[in-house]
Structure 1
Amino acid sequence: MQSKHTLGVALLGAVLTLPVTASALADEVVEQIELGLELYHEAEYGAAITELEFAINDIRERMSGRIAETFPEAPEGWSAGTVESGVSGGAAMFGGGGGSMLEREYRQESGNGRLTAKLMIDNPMVQAMSAMFSNPAIIAAQPNMERIRIGRDSAMLKWEAERGNAEVSFLMDGRILMQINGQGLDSQAPAVELLKAWDLDAVREQAAR
């Protein structure tokens, strides 16, 4: 069992490592952690767990919000919706067993085109896709699929010209999957360009463990 000092350092460290100002630390997250520690010291373990889980969920909401800010703006001639969580009933559960997903929809203003940008972190689908990224033979065997470049990295493009459907997938650091799905498109270009407009460095920074 962890000592009181070790547990306190670990829990407070989770908050203190977030890039927030000193004044912002005096908020409900810190209060929840402090109350959780008090309850732990009083051997009220169930209540302590409840308080600390509330604190963890609040931290996850803040992380979710920061990652949502990395989504690309709408291209010219398109409009963008708000970033939504793919986890029902609350904020995306970063680091949880089920992973997380955020998405944003874009609509063509003078046409029927639609794009959906998705970002998945530690999600079971990421693991399934990673096998395909590491095996060129699998990509070659998929109809209408090819490898493209996003900077110096590789991404996968699936383009169904007869249906106007595009899917561009990019795997980052083995645990972050970024995907653009398009329908009603005249070409694959809008989907590819939207992925290229994503701030990859910001995604990596905000999703870091």
Structure 2
Amino acid sequence: MKSKITLTHLKAAVLASVITLPAAQSALADEVIEQIELGLELYQEQEYGAAITELEFAIEDMRKMMSGLIAQTFPEAPGGWTAQEASSGSSGGAAAMFGAGGTSLERVYQQEDGNGQLTASMMLDSPLIQSMGAMFSNPAIIAAQPNMERVRLGREAAVVKWEPERSRAEVTLMLDGRIMMQVKGENLGSQEIAVDLMRDWDLAAVREQSAR
């Protein structure tokens, strides 16, 4: 009886998410339900290895669904800029570290009448976040860097690194101890465009879509 209740709860959670998903992700949700059901059948037949495999497939697909919803939280392009669709982190920049578990996404913004570029990225539930969070929350480390400062973004505090000689900016925000958000910019006239992009990020939606 316990296993049937667990399956019902899992199916209800997946089906509830379908309401807000586009068609492609709705189809993916159907696959997740099938994988969970098959995993339960294999478990009840004591074929544990096969059951684990099916449930791992289901978990991976649910991560993809969650990533699709989190991607919708990324800020729109500022005036005079264009934005690509948010996607899984590439091999460049902070996204290179995202492979150590967890979820990663990034979105690239390009200046229309210049060479400026911004990359907004998010790392979620990575083992690296704890160690990096300790560094960014240490006032002594920040104070020791002449090109770094803390800025208020509503109720949150971000760390800004501005290199005027290289026209580069980096804004880092640690959220709830498990989410690291960054905006990196190149060929910028000031750090403000990067700070403003981070300020426009919908933090409430990030928390909602990444909730455990």
- In the superposition, the TM-score normalised over structure 2's length comes to 0.84
Tell me whether 1:20 sits opposite 2:17 in the alignment: yes
Kindly tell me the number of residue pairs found equivalent between the two proteins: 198
Q: Which has the higher helix share?
A: 2
Give 1:16's aligned amino acid: A
Provide the secondary structure at the position in 2 that maps to 1:142.
coil
Aligned counterpart in structure 1 of residue 67 of structure 2, from 46, 50, 64: 64
Aligned counterpart in structure 2 of residue 133 of structure 1, from 136, 140, 156: 136
Deviation string 1:131-172 (CA, Å, 9 cap, x unpaired) is 123321111012300010101221100001111100001111
Which residue matches 2:50? Answer: 47
Provide the secondary structure at the position in 1 that maps to 2:17.
coil
How far residue 39 of structure 1 moved from its aligned partner, in angstroms, is: 1.4
Deviation string 1:91-138 (CA, Å, 9 cap, x unpaired) is xxxxx9712211111010100100000101112332222112332111
How far residue 7 of structure 1 moved from its aligned partner, in angstroms, is: 4.3
Which residue matches 1:169? Answer: 172
Seen in structure 2, the aligned counterparts of structure 1 residues 14 and 177 have a Cα distance that, compared at 3 Å, is farther
Once superposed, what is the RMSD of the aligned Cα atoms? 2.4
How far residue 49 of structure 1 moved from its aligned partner, in angstroms, is: 1.7
- In the superposition, the TM-score normalised over structure 1's length comes to 0.86
Please tell me whether the aligned partners of residues 101 and 121 of structure 1 are also in contact (alpha carbons under 8 angstroms).
yes
Please tell me whether the aligned partners of residues 36 and 55 of structure 2 are also in contact (alpha carbons under 8 angstroms).
yes
Which residue matches 1:147? Answer: 150
Deviation string 1:165-189 (CA, Å, 9 cap, x unpaired) is 0000111101111100000000111
Which residue matches 1:34? Answer: 37
Give 1:167's aligned amino acid: E
Give runs of ≥4 in structure 1 deviating > 6 Å.
Answer: none
Please tell me whether the aligned partners of residues 99 and 120 of structure 1 are also in contact (alpha carbons under 8 angstroms).
yes
Seen in structure 2, the aligned counterparts of structure 1 residues 161 and 97 have a Cα distance that, compared at 3 Å, is closer
Name stretches of at least 5 consecutive residues in structure 1 with no aligned partner. Answer: 89-95
Provide the secondary structure at the position in 1 that maps to 2:46.
coil
Please tell me whether the aligned partners of residues 145 and 159 of structure 1 are also in contact (alpha carbons under 8 angstroms).
yes
Give 1:13's aligned amino acid: H
How far residue 21 of structure 1 moved from its aligned partner, in angstroms, is: 5.2
